[in-house]
Amino acid sequence: MSVLESLLPGKNLLHIENCDIDEAESTITVKVSSVQTKITCPICGFPTTKIHSHYERKLADLSWANYSTSLELRVRKFFCINNECFRRIFTERLPSTVIPWARRTIRLASQLKNIGLALGGAAGIRLSKQLGFNASRNTLLNLVRKIPLPLFDSLKIIGVDDFCFRKCKTYGTIIVDLETNKPVTLLKDRSAETLSSWLKEHPGIKIVSRDRARAYEKGIKEGAPEAIQVADRFHLLQNLAQTLYEVFGIHSKEFKEIEKIRNQSSVVKDEENIVVSTIPTLAPAPTKQQKKAEQRRTRRFEKYQKIWELHSQGWSAKAIAKKLGIGCTTVFRYLRNPTFIERRGRSDKGRSLVTPYQDYIIKRWNEGCRETKTLFEEIKQQGFSGSYTTVSRYTTRLRECQGLKKRQRYSTKRLPKIIKPSKKPLTPYSAAWLILGRSDEEISKSEQEELIVLLKAQSPSLKEGIELAQKFISLVRQNKYGN
Ligand SMILES: [Zn+2]
């Protein structure tokens, strides 16, 4: 019995009386009784030896090998012999085995809690069953919920940010201890009132890091007026990316120029191969639509100038809106940006109906099929829904790249092979992340550097903007203050 006894929880306090193995059910039932000698009343702490009665509790325990195990625990009830104590009879406690009223041992509850923490209810219960523990989903979740929250008695530096219960619908606030990098609490919303009342309950906070949200600014001012408010690195860099995006947005001309340079430099790779850009090298004559877009831009620009003119004369946003016959929101939107923002180009820029068939066309072209009509028929079979002209525009470009004349299909010279470029066009958005070193495009480090050099070379103000941004980034990332 000694081996079995050492497997018991609280082994020095329990004695095995009997052990039943049910092979068919794969269960072990161990009958144990308490042998602890020092009994004290849980209320007054007075020692006693006066037994009142015995009773049995059934406790689930950890599995032994492949057997689900339960303990039939025989415990005693005692009289409290302290005349001043209000408790007359009590059950003996076995603090290393089980907590009062529980139906499982402490060590089983602890395992279930770990499973619940790692996997949650549904998945946790599947694993528990596999391990031979008999528990329900709610048991797991209740065990997790009962874990006491860590105590943070001396919070000094905290971070405040929002998180979403449902994106764009309901948000809460998370508070993190920035000295230990551990979450402290979750607040039900992201209002100034909730944050300020939490801060009032936790005095002594010296520094609060936050994003630009006005509500947090107000909440901190009210709840912890002594605390210094700072912006964290993540939000500083996020704001920088936004600013860069706006700056790049007003340099659309320069971005077009860069595209041209990139395309030209990629046309001839070597004597064997030619890379053909998907973007036309020559801008087509302005179409009706483009002319209209140009007119719309002019109108927007005039509106922008007018709003800022009135604003600088001290007009309120409301008055400006009334005077110009536009909405207040529009006025605010224009006033948020000190420089005129160009409309973002179409996200499908450089794409046409031919794009999905370009690989096929280039393959056939390199094989020697330079008949637009044949190619048109072939891709039509594959589901192409565009016109003959669209295909013909593309084949004309292929012809131009290889130095063939209009409608020329054969050449006595050996023609270089055509390759599709893999580069995506540079947009203000991708350029902003390029400067931040978080470009998601699959381009090498050296290419990224080349692009930045190219950007800087376009105009003095772009150069200045990028250099300021780079200084700021190194300051934020490497804690280089005072440089
Ligand atoms: Zn007592």
Q: Tell whether the model's pLDDT for residue 275 goes beyond 80.
A: no
Boundary-marking domain end, from 231, 260, 292: 231
Q: What is the mean pLDDT of residues 35-57?
A: 90
Give the pLDDT score at 420. Answer: 67
Going from the Cα of 97 to the center of ligand 1, the distance in angstroms, rounded, reads: 22
49 Cα to the center of ligand 1, angstroms: 12
User: Which has the minimum average pLDDT: 102-116, 129-143, 194-208, 420-434?
Assistant: 420-434
pTM summary value: 0.47
Ligand 1 centroid vs 223 CA: distance in angstroms? 45
Same domain, 434 and 464: yes
Residues with Cβ within 8 Å of 430's Cβ and at least 6 positions away in sequence, in order, are 424, 439, 440, 441
User: Which run of H or of E encompasses 29?
Assistant: strand 27-34
Res 263: pLDDT: 65
Lowest-confidence pick of 4-18, 216-230, 324-338, 408-422: 408-422
Tell me, yes or no, whether 142 lies in a domain. Answer: no
pLDDT at residue number 58:
93
Ligand 1 centroid – CA 195 distance (Å): 45
Domain boundary among 176, 203, 231: 231
Residue 331, in any domain of the structure? yes
Confidence (pLDDT) at 457: 85
% of the chain surpassing 70 pLDDT = 86
262 occurs within a structural domain: no
Q: How far is the CA of 48 from the centre of ligand 1 (A)?
A: 9
pLDDT category at 359 given cuts 50, 70, 90 is confident
The tokens for 115 are: 């499973």
Measure 33 CA to ligand 1 centroid, in angstroms. Answer: 23
pLDDT value at 419 more than 80: no
Instruction: Calculate how far, in angstroms, residue 102's C-alpha sits from the geometric centre of ligand 1.
Output: 22
Q: pLDDT for 64-93, tens place per residue?
A: 888 889 999 999 999 999 999 999 999 999
**Per-residue model confidence as pLDDT tens digits over 169-224:** 788 999 999 888 888 889 999 899 999 999 999 888 999 998 877 889 999 999 99
User: Distance, CA 106 to ligand 1 centroid (Å)?
Assistant: 25
Q: How far is the CA of 164 from the centre of ligand 1 (A)?
A: 50
What does the pLDDT read at residue 355?
Answer: 79
Q: How far is the CA of 35 from the centre of ligand 1 (A)?
A: 20
Q: How confident is the model at residue 349, as a pLDDT?
A: 54
- d(CA 385, CA 362) in angstroms, rounded, equals 18
| Same domain, yes or no: 309 and 434 | no
The Å distance, Cα 90 to ligand 1 centre, comes to 8
Residue 44 CA to ligand 1 center (angstroms) comes to 4
Q: Choose from 185-189, 273-277, 280-284, 290-294 the range with maximum mean pLDDT.
A: 185-189
Q: Specify if 402 maps to a domain.
A: yes
Instruction: Assess whether 293 and 378 both reside in one domain.
Output: yes
Please report the pLDDT score of residue 483 as a whole number: 39
Average pLDDT, the chain: 82
Q: Which of 60-69, 251-260, 286-295 has the lowest mean pLDDT?
A: 286-295
Distance 39 CA to ligand 1 centre (A): 11
131 within a domain of the structure (yes/no) = no
Total number of domains in the chain: 4
Which segment of 178-182, 293-297, 320-324, 335-339 scores lowest on mean pLDDT? 335-339
CATH number of domain containing 199: 3.30.420.10
pLDDT at residue number 257: 80
Residue 34 has pLDDT above 60, yes or no: yes
pLDDT of res. 6:
84
User: Counting every residue, how long is the chain?
Assistant: 483
Query: Ligand 1 center to residue 260 CA distance, Å?
Result: 90
Residues 427 and 348 in one domain: no
**Do 196 and 213 belong together in one domain?**
yes
Pick from 237, 201, 154: nearest CA to 437: 237
Q: What's the pLDDT score for residue 283?
A: 42
**Short-list 111, 97, 89, 84, CA closest to 30:** 97
pLDDT at 482: 45
> 393 alpha carbon to ligand 1 midpoint, in Å?
97
Q: Is a pLDDT exceeding 80 seen at residue 103?
A: yes
Cα 52 to middle of ligand 1, angstroms = 14
What is the 336 CA–ligand 1 centroid distance (Å)? 71
Q: Are residues 300 and 397 in the same domain?
A: yes
Shared domain check, 442 and 389: no
Q: Residue 257 has which token pair?
A: 């120029």
Give per-residue burial for 444-459: e unless 16+ CB within 10 Å, then b: eeeeeeebbebbbebe
d(CA 77, ligand 1 centre) in Å? 13
Distance 146 CA to ligand 1 centre (A): 28
Tell how far the Cα of 66 is from the centroid of ligand 1, in angstroms: 43
Gap from CA of 46 to ligand 1 centroid (Å):
6
The answer as to whether 40 is a domain residue is yes
* Lowest-confidence pick of 150-164, 227-241, 427-441: 427-441
| Same structural domain, 276 and 384 | yes
85 Cα: distance to centroid of ligand 1 (angstroms): 5
Using the mean position of ligand 1's atoms as its centre, give its distance from the Cα of residue 104 in Å: 26
Q: What pairing do the DSSP bridges indicate for beta strands 51-64 and 273-275?
A: unpaired
Quote the ligand 1 centre to 92 CA distance (angstroms): 12
Residues 314 and 406 in one domain: yes
Mean pLDDT, residues 296-314 taken together: 85
Biggest alpha carbon distance in the chain?
Answer: 119
336 shares its domain with 224: no
- How many angstroms separate the CA atoms of 448 and 431, rounded? 10
Q: Which domain holds residue 349?
A: 269-419
Q: What tens digit of pLDDT does each residue of 435-452 get? A: 888 766 567 777 788 888
Do residues 400 and 433 both lie within one domain? no
96 versus 169: which is more confidently predicted? 96
By mean pLDDT, which of 51-60, 354-363, 372-381, 472-481 is the weakest? 472-481
Q: How far is the CA of 40 from the centre of ligand 1 (A)?
A: 8
Same domain, 401 and 453: no
